[in-house]
Structures are given as structure tokens and as C-alpha cells.
Structure 1
Amino acid sequence: METEFVTYSPEQTIEEGRKLAGQLQPGMVVCLEGDLGAGKTHFVKGMAAGLKIDPSQVQSPTYTLINEYEGRLPLYHFDCYRMESPQEALEIGAEEYFYGEGVCVIEWPGRIRPLIPREALWISITVLDRERRKFVIGKKSL
């Protein structure tokens, strides 16, 4: 079953991420799809806040590939935008994170699709205009 909603500001996008964090359990993988500037990192800031992590610490890990944060649960924030193949994710130990005790959030998951666990939650973010974003949350068949 899919859930859809629209946010009307970056602050509301952060709040929706915070709400989702209340449902997160160890070992969950959340995949975020959306164009550059769609609000993926704002959503992760909200998830961090909901996990008792200072959201001001959350930045896109575009150049580091993964950022780790400690809170109610560990949060592992991946950015696969620069990855050329799933092999690169394997080399940084992605699968150990996916099946660990924390929550993994993956931006640009399509680049490592073969590695994504079947039970991952997929969130698609579409830019509607300067402020509005449409979110579709559900499972995907891989």
C-alpha cells in the first residue's frame, strides 16, 4: 500500500521525516528517490530529529558517500549519486550497514539497486514547484 502527501515548505518536509522516524526499527532501509534539490536531505534531517540526532549535523554525504549519526538508533546516510556501480557500495561495506542495528537512508538508490534489501521502504519525491513536494511512500518489487 502506498501513502502520498504534499509538503508546502522545507520545514514541513523536515516534519514529515520526523514523523516517519517514529516508525523506524533497527535494520530498516529507506530509499529516497528524487531529482537534485527535491528535498531528500531535508527529509533526512527530519528523520534524524525523530531519532534524537541534532538535524543541524545532517549534511548530504555526496563526497564522503556515507555519514554516520548516533541517536535513538544509529542513522547511516548514504549518497550513491557518484557511484558508478554496486561494486563501489560493496567496497565501503554497504551490506554490513543494511543488515545491522541501525537505519540506513539511501539517496540515489537506483545506482546500487541489486544490493537493496527486498523489504526496503521506497520514498519518491517530486518537485511540484518552488516550495511544494509530492511524496509517495511504499514498497517496490526488485
Structure 2
Amino acid sequence: MVRRAAAAAVVLTAGMTASPGHADPGPFTGMAGTWGGGGTVALEDGSTERIRCRANYGVSGPRMTLVLTCASDAYKFGLQAEVIAEGSAISGTWSETSRGINGVLQGRGGGGNFQLLATTAGFNANIALATRGKRQSVSIRADSQFRAANISLSR
């Protein structure tokens, strides 16, 4: 279950970046709509799996909601999140809907670059996010059962 929560936290955070070029002053400007992509997840035992994701974002100024569905060859999960930005501080909650797992997100960022911490009981993950135009990248390092993930999303 921790492994699935870790993978869920990885892909969940992929949507928490900003895209420049729109009049809306919120940090999630340009995120609204559907995004898709994939990448790899490396587990503690050294194995890796490909992961595919589709995300739907609702954005209103400094607030964002996310509904995310991801799948690898071994499992499928669904995530929901609500976050808010106050200046450069980002905070919110996430839940993995099919397994009833939830936690908090917090961190700092702006200008398309964010550093976040995702937590739940028995799990902590450091997440680096970067957005360039219509492409997003997510890099994550976790402390249990899950070592790393690299994910790319695009519109």
C-alpha cells in the first residue's frame, strides 16, 4: 500500500506547476484542462515500471483541483487533490480514491519551478517540478519502498 501511495504522490504532484503567458495572476495559470504523459517509477528492490497518466485540472486564481488517473503494467489508481498558493507557499491535500489513502502537500515555488513535500503516514517524498511551455517534468525521491520517479506530461 505504501508503494502505491508513493507512486500516487509522484503523479499527483505533476499538475502543480505554472505555465507562463496568460493574464490570470494565479500560479497555476494555464493548467486548466486535460494533460497526459508517462515516465518511469523505480522501486526499492531496483525494479522499474512504466507509468501512464491522464490529468484533468480545474484552476481558479490561486486554487487548483486535480483528478488524475494513472496506470502501470501492475496496477491502476485514481487521485484527487486540492491546493492553494499564498505567495510562493503551496499547500493542500491529496487522496488516492480507490484505496482510501490521503495526505498533505506543502512547499514553495513560482515561475514554473516548485519544490514540494508530499506526506502521509509512513511516507515522505521530495518533489521537484518544472514547466516549460506545454511540457511539464516531475522528479521525485522518496524514503520508503519507492526510490524515484521521472514523469513527463504535455498538452
For Structure 1 versus Structure 2, the TM-score category normalised by the shorter chain is 0.3 to 0.5
TM-score of the superposition, structure 2-length normalised?
0.31
Give the helix-richer structure, 1 or 2.
1
Between the two structures, name the one with larger relative contact order (CA 8 Å, sep ≥ 6): 1
TM-score of the superposition, structure 1-length normalised?
0.33
